[in-house]
Every structure is written in C-alpha cells, then in structure tokens.
Structure 1
C-alpha cells in the first residue's frame, strides 16, 4: 500500500460513493501531538517518568525500560523500527524526515501472527544473516514456498505444529530444528500458539525472494 493519504489514493478515484452525515466529535489524529491529546495516560509500556517532567507523553513498545527526567513538552515513542523524540509543537514535521527513511521493518503483524527481527548482519563480502522470532496463531500457517537466494534454519521454542518439507509432513514441537536449503519447498502450520526462531543466510535477504505454491495436502 503506497504511503499516500486515503482521500487521494482511494476516495478521489472512486466513482460510486455514498455519504452519511456524522454529528459526533471528530479530531484529526495525523500527528503525534494530536494523538497525545487523546491518550488517557501519559505513558504506555515500560516507562518511568521522573519528578521534574511536565507535559510529556511516552509510548514504549520495547521490552527495555525508558526513563525521562528534566524534560518538558515532549513526545517520546520507541518501537522496534525506531525511536522518535520531539517537541509536541513540532510533531507535524516528523513526516518530512520519515519519508526519507528506507529500512527493513523490524516488526510486522500478519494474518497468521507476528514477527520481529532480532538481528541483522551484512558482511564485507555481501553475505547476510537475518534472525527473526515468529509467532503463529493456532491453526494458522505461512504459505508453502521456496526461496532462491537464501537458506533457513527454524528452531521451535514453544508450541506444536506441522512442518511441511518437499512433499513430506511431520509434527514438530519445542526443541525441534529444521534446515531448509535454497529451492526447497517448505511451510509450517500451528496446532497451538507456535513460536520459532528463523535464521536466514544468503544474499540478498529480501522479502520479495519468495515463490508461493499450492499446499501439499488438503488439511491446511
């Protein structure tokens, strides 16, 4: 989805629209400053505010603690994708800088669950390693797929599921390790909430290096 305003991308191009009147409260939440005014609490997550703090809003999605002291009128937002610290009056200017940031997402929510990047390394010769933690919802699965530029190692850390590999299927659980080479068909489906560590090796490590296939059986 392009990073374009909904009105420009969808509404103005639509040829058949229905409009209903709305008489309730409406407030644009397009900036951190506007969002902060609507928050019930000044903090969210693992946050500690000191005694000399005034008009500061902090959202921390990281597991590590975030402490603020001796500051005023600030927005602080920390997530796996980055950290923002700005004056509330300047929050509208953040968009001018964000559009120039082109980085791999460190956290994503998908229909089947979530993943977060734990580590990424690119060596001088161009070889890459990427480590993810992936959590699948019960009965959900990732697509049956192959990769041309990377190998993967999956280590189950919690839960149970089915591992599909080159036309075979087996039950896997905590402690099981699966090795997947380039060009090999593979997938995994959760029975219970399923957590596993995925280590990718190769180059280039990009999300586009995926060919989705039909499922190998009718159970999925």
Structure 2
C-alpha cells in the first residue's frame, strides 16, 4: 500500500503547544499502549505500519518539519518537501511524482492521500486499505472516503452519493453549508468530505502534466515556486466525472482546536497539574516543570509551554488564531533530527538554551560569524570536535567556542547540555555548515 500523508500548517489554534516549527501533529498528548505519550504523526504512522508493515509512506511537508519528523518516526519514512506553500494540488502532484521518479513505484499502482492529523480508531486504517484496493480496480479515477456525519457540521464539505451502497458513484459535491442546509444534506444521505481519497499514480501525473510544464520530479521541484496556488478539489475533483465514494462509519475527529483535541484525550491532565473535585470538563496540558492547580473551573483548557500560557473556555478557544498572530513570538522549543532544544532565557546580548541530543546523534559541523558559545555538560557522555580537535566530554565539562570556530558534538548516551550564546547579533541564520573531514 502506498500512502501520502499531508502534513502542513502551523496549528496556531493549538497555541502555545504548537508554533511555526512544531505543528499540532507533533504534540505528544496521546497515551500509547506502553504508557508513553505519542503525537498524531507517530500514532498515524505506527497504525499504518501495523495494518501493512510493507506500506510505502510518504509525508508531504515543508522543510521546517523535516527535523521533527525524523526525530519522532525515524528516517525510513519518505519525505516530499515543498519548497514553499502552494496549496494541496501542487503538494499532491509533487508527492506523486516523488513516488514514481524517486521511490520507483509503478505508475499503475494506487496511492491513498490523507491528512496526518485526524483522530481515528483501527477501523480507519482498514478503510484506507479498502480505499487503495478499490482504486486499484480502475472503476473510477478517484475514490473518496465519505465519512458518515454525526451532526450537521458547517466545517466540512459534503459528498452526495448516487446510492446507499457501501461503494457508490458520486452524484455531486456541496461546499461547506450552514447548519440548516447541512441538516437537509444529511437527510438526503450526504457524507462528510474528510479529504481522504485514492487514485492510480498515473492519473494525477497525467492531470499534473496537463496543468504544469515539467518533465520529472526534479524539474517539478525546481519550478515549484512558480506554480499556481490551487487546491486539489478545484484542480482535479470538481473536473472529474468518474468518482466513487466508500462509506466510513467509524470514529473520525478533526483535532484542529483545543475543544476537539481535548475530546480525544484519555486523561484530563498531561504534565504537572492537579484539579479539585469542583472542576468539570477541565483539561490541563503542561510542558513546563512547574505545577498548575485548577479549582472550581468548568469546560476550560489550560495549556502551558515555553511559548506561553493559555487559559480559555473550550468553546472560545476556537477563536485564538488572531490573538496568536498579534504576538511577537520567538520559537522557544523545537525538535530536531538529533534531539531537541528549549530556550531558557533571552537577554539583549545573550541567550541560554537547554539542548538534548539523542544517543548516537550529532549536530552539524558548523560555525557562527557573530557569536561566541559556551557549552556546559549536564548529563550523559559524548565527544566534541572544535576546530578539528576531538575530546571526550562528561557531566561538569565546559567547552568554549569563539566566533568563527568550527564545532560539533556527538552523543554516546542521551546528552544534556546548557548552551550559552553571546553576541550583539544572535540569529538562527548565523550558521555556516562544513563537511567533517
């Protein structure tokens, strides 16, 4: 089975746990079978591999998310990188070309495209397999998943099937309606359009060549910035007559807001937090190393991270985006392919960061033009290379690097450092990478 997972967006409606670097799909809030917490992307990837261990999974995403993907699910997953945002049709066309030209998948094979971040049960993944199998038959050019609606929602478009069969040709599509119109659609057997569909790779490649002048994946990638911003629905779905829909009646939730996200949580407190018996419908998600106490609250979400603190009525939390847009934010936490970092303190000419490197990983060999750095080893063992000189490091060791000095660090065990950056122009752009000889 071939699957393209669409992983985009900044998830500002889930601030302060999500930001421009860590989108909502990377927040670890779902308890796994072994009691550890996992994110949406980890949950989705793990379930796909459980249903089909040989599945070829490709994540269509931006460059800023690559490190978090590698950190959370490893380097085996395929990644189709969007050089810039160009809506869903260019992203899906690029990922489809990636599968054929880079991964060597036969164009006659089917592929399933779905968002990376819905909350679903195991039967959803069986449905993805059924979707792929139906697309392989070639009875239709597109096969959509139609989700049985549980209420008249204004948030989703609707699919009107021709019959009540489990698999049906599609009569028509309806845009996001009002609640009253949605009730009418549902009474006529309409299904939610959750953005899940399947097709043979050659089909979308043909559509892409009709709209874009390109030869292969590399050519399409190089021209990506010039492409028209256009949705897959508008470019492909609305112009296609041979479309089928498969009904899906299992659990499916779009976890785009704190209100919907907390509905899917199996516990009311993640992190350090307590609430008294008079609290009802309260959820605490705390990434800080300080306790949160809630008393006498109803239907409230409390979320705390190095980015900030949110205390909100759950229904009102859906309207957070313009307030987040108005904040002058600095990224305070990010996951990298080698580990993670958290900004602890910011001064006019200094920044203090806690860095955690995963065992067996290292930073790039690099230098900074405008800042000095001091590393203090808190825990773990490893080694540093500073201007070609290598030394082993252990807790208590201090390593100093002047501006222009080339340096890196390797972790033998999990390695925790405090990094102090000193300079008048501290910037993430001030970094030059080198090959380590």
Same fold (TM over 0.5): yes
What do the CA deviations read for 1:192-215 (whole angstroms, capped 9, x no partner)? 111111110002211111111111
Query: Given the alignment, which residue of 38, 56, 62 partners 2:282?
Result: 56
Using the alignment, how far apart are the partners of 1:55 and 1:70 within structure 2? 11
Q: Which residue of 1 aligns with 2:412?
A: 191
Q: Which residue of 1 aligns with 2:435?
A: 214
What do the CA deviations read for 1:158-211 (whole angstroms, capped 9, x no partner)? 111111111111111111111100011111111111111111000221111111
- In 2 relative to 1, CA 9–92 (structure 1 residues): closer, same or farther, beyond 3 Å? farther
Using the alignment, how far apart are the partners of 2:410 and 2:271 within structure 1? 31
Using the alignment, how far apart are the partners of 1:176 and 1:120 within structure 2? 23
TM-score (norm 2): 0.46
Using the alignment, how far apart are the partners of 1:200 and 1:45 within structure 2? 29
The reply to whether residue 15 of structure 1 matches residue 93 of structure 2 is: yes
Q: Which residue of 1 aligns with 2:378?
A: 157
State the SS of the aligned residue for 2:323. helix
State the SS of the aligned residue for 2:320. helix
TM-score (norm 1): 0.88
Using the alignment, how far apart are the partners of 2:389 and 2:366 within structure 1? 14
What do the CA deviations read for 1:88-126 (whole angstroms, capped 9, x no partner)? 11111011221232322211111101111111111xxxx
Using the alignment, how far apart are the partners of 2:259 and 2:368 within structure 1? 43
Q: Which has the larger radius of gyration?
A: 2
What do the CA deviations read for 1:45-99 (whole angstroms, capped 9, x no partner)? 1111022212111111111110011221111111111111111111110112212
Structure 2: give runs of 5+ residues left out of the alignment.
1-7, 12-22, 24-59, 62-84, 97-110, 113-130, 132-143, 146-247
What do the CA deviations read for 1:120-172 (whole angstroms, capped 9, x no partner)? 111xxxxx111111111111001100101110001111111111111111111
Greater displacement, 50-59 / 130-139 = 50-59
The alignment of Structure 1 onto Structure 2 pairs a total of residues equal to 211
Structure 1: give runs of 5+ residues left out of the alignment.
123-127
- Please identify runs of 4+ aligned residues in structure 1 that moved more than 6 A: 4-8
- In 2 relative to 1, CA 42–2 (structure 1 residues): closer, same or farther, beyond 3 Å? closer
Q: Which residue of 1 aligns with 2:363?
A: 142
State the SS of the aligned residue for 1:27. strand
Using the alignment, how far apart are the partners of 1:199 and 1:137 within structure 2? 20
Q: Which residue of 2 aligns with 1:97?
A: 323
Q: Which residue of 2 aligns with 1:118?
A: 344
Using the alignment, how far apart are the partners of 2:10 and 2:86 within structure 1? 9
**1:9 Cα deviation after fit:** 4.5
